[in-house]
Structure 1
Amino acid sequence: MSAKFHWVLMVVFVCGCHAGAASIAESFTSYKLVPNIVTKAPANVISVKFPSGAVVDLGNELSKPQVALTPSVSWNAGDGLYTVIMFDPDAPSPSNPFISSFLHWLVINVQKDGIASGDTIAEYLHPYPPPFGDIHRYVFLVYQQRERLPVKDFIAYSTIGRFKFSPQDFADNFNLGDPVAGNFFRTQFNSLKTDKLF
């Protein structure tokens, strides 16, 4: 393989990485997640796929039935432990989000990207935006932990702590730093008959 070809491969790889990071930052900014919800966009995407086959893709719209069950998640994880959160910054409505953010899912002490290895603090609650108001954003963020976190310090997040959950304050309080991966989708109330199942 020629030296010239090596350089071409390196340029393509580097540009591709920067383009991906730029796309995430642009999406988080255009949907007002940065700086309104978190101060900095994650550099990597967390892959999120629901049992329905629906895949989260930086703001795509999914229906309530598509996101009814707990998704599988993966990201470019290294050694260490991680925290995964999912929340709705538009609860109960984007125009009046007085319980923002609402915590939908919280798992701590995740080994690499094996979500089942972690301690689930707040079980997955599927989105159910009310029939009034505009479309809601549902955000996934991954943080790398500096150490194992004690479960007892997080119990409140399984109940009352789901309301008025601040991702930025949460990260600051537990020294998690900036998110290392993220993604989000949007959902709104609709009149599909299948919605009556949930």
Structure 2
Amino acid sequence: MASTVDPLVVGRVIGDVVDMFIPCETISVDFASKHVTNGCNVKPSAAAAVPSVKISGHSKDLYTLVMTDPDAPSPSEPSMREWVHWIVVDIPGGTTPNQGKEILSYIGPRPPVGIHRYILVLFRQKSPIGLINLPESRANFNTRYFAAQLDLGLPVATVYFNAQKEPGNRRR
């Protein structure tokens, strides 16, 4: 009997960033021609611009999208865990984050050392989110705490990719 292992568990997304949940929506993420699947590698240069994101769901429902790096500044010593890269709220179901309110602008991956995980977490909102207090710093963000503060509950979808520092051009 074959069994499947959840890539979110293997990649320690569940545990490090979110608690166990049952996905009930889908999130599709693309950086130009690179489609993101759990655990795939994306070069930071390819992820410098805001990704194309499509979420499922009903148009009457609203969603919040959070992108974080739990491995900052180094996977072996993540003293800045989590570093938040992007927050968008009030996204209508079946649309894209462009239809929501960007609370924290997108900053692409910039891993200084090691292989970092970049996690996009989608929550279904219980009501529209008005004004919220922005994090004082992008460092030491906590997705669970953020979700609790906004009464978002567990995620409804999550996808993550890996990135590592690209070698610089060497001059001779």
User: Cα distance 1:48–1:135, how it changes in 2: closer, same or farther (>3 A)?
Assistant: same
TM-score for both structures, normalised by structure 2 = 0.88
**Partner Cα separation in structure 1 for residue 130 and residue 138 of structure 2:** 18
Matched to 2:17, the amino acid is I
Counterparts in 2 of 1:184 and 1:124: CA distance versus 1, 3 Å = same
* Distance in 1 separating the partners of 2:162 and 2:26: 16
Question: What's the counterpart of residue 114 of structure 1?
Answer: 96
Q: Which residue of 1 aligns with 2:166?
A: 190
Aligned-residue sequence identity (percent) comes to: 30
Q: How many residues align?
A: 164
Normalized per residue, the structure richer in helix is 1
Q: Could you tell which deviates more after superposition, 100-109 or 29-38?
A: 29-38
What residue number does 2:11 align with?
A: 31
Counterpart amino acid of 2:79? F
Q: Which letter does structure 2 place at the counterpart of 1:106?
A: I
Of residues 173, 190, 195 in structure 1, which corresponds to 2:149? 173
Deviation, 1:161, is 3.5
* Cα pair distance change 1:70/1:192, threshold 3 Å: same
Q: Helix, strand or coil: the match of 1:35?
A: helix
What does 1:70-85 align with in structure 2 at a 5 Å threshold?
70-78=50-58, 79-85=60-66
Contact persistence 2:55–2:96 (CA under 8 A): no
| 1:63 alignment partner in structure 2 | 43
Q: CA RMSD in A?
A: 1.7
Q: Deviations over 1:78-114 (max 9, x none)?
A: 2211101100000001111111100000001111133
Alignment-mate amino acid for residue 165 of structure 2: F
- Unaligned segments of structure 1, at least 5 residues: 1-21, 194-198
Letter in 1 for 2:68: F
Distance in 2 (CA, whole Å) between partners of 1:98 and 1:66 is: 26
Which amino acid in structure 1 is aligned with residue 81 of structure 2?
A: S
SS in 2 for 1:168: helix
Per the alignment, residue 128 of structure 2 pairs with 148
> How far apart, CA to CA, are the structure 1 residues paired with 2:107 and 2:55?
21
Q: C-alpha displacement at 1:76, in angstroms?
A: 1.8
Q: Of 79, 82, 85, which aligns to 1:104?
A: 85
Matched-pair contact (CA < 8 Å) for 1:45–1:183: no
| Structure 2 spans left out of the alignment, 5+ residues | none
Higher strand share: 2
